[in-house]
Amino acid sequence: MPYRITHRNLPQLFLKAREALMAHFRPVLNHFGVTEQQWRILRALDEHGQLEPRELCELCQILSPSMAGVLSRMEELGLVERQRVATDARRVLVLLGEKGDRLIDEIAPLIQQQYRLMEEAWGKRVVDDLTDALEGFIAAQATEVPQVELPKKP
């Protein structure tokens, strides 16, 4: 029997690739008691300074209801701080807390080292090609793709 779908399953490949990559970083995060979501937030704040929660949701790919809970827990732990915007009290900015800043100082060299080990094992070109392919795919999303026409419901 021939396959019904001839294209490779890109979403499944993305999930496998993500899991394969995270397997190299997860031991570092686990050692420091940081969840993957928390690390994405810490890294985004380290790269961008202060961000609004909606910006963090976008950058970190975390849904807003989850983000609220994660930020509350991180604030309790001293990893982040939330500050109201002086000119608009409805807006809140999230920034690294003192503990979050220290944690990044501890984790960042290990993450950098892990990237170097991956490049040594697979070749820097493989890591660069993957990065370029993913960035290219994300950039291509600016081009609208028509949606297949769905059949009418009976």
Residues of the chain with pLDDT > 70, as a percent, come to 100
Tens-place pLDDT, residues 75-113: 999 999 999 888 887 889 999 999 999 999 999 999 999
Q: How confident is the model at residue 34 (pLDDT cuts 50, 70, 90)?
A: very high
Kindly state the DSSP code that residue 61 receives in the 8-state scheme: T
The SS3 assignment for 2 reads coil
Supply the DSSP symbol for 152. P
The band of 39, judged by pLDDT with boundaries at 50, 70 and 90, is very high
Q: Indicate whether this model's pTM tops 0.85.
A: yes
* pLDDT tens per residue across span 41-76: 999 999 999 999 999 999 999 999 999 999 999 999
Within the chain, what is the greatest distance between any pair of CA atoms?
Answer: 66
**pLDDT range class, residue 6, cuts 50, 70, 90:** confident
Q: Which runs of E-coded beta strand occur in the chain?
A: 80-85, 88-96
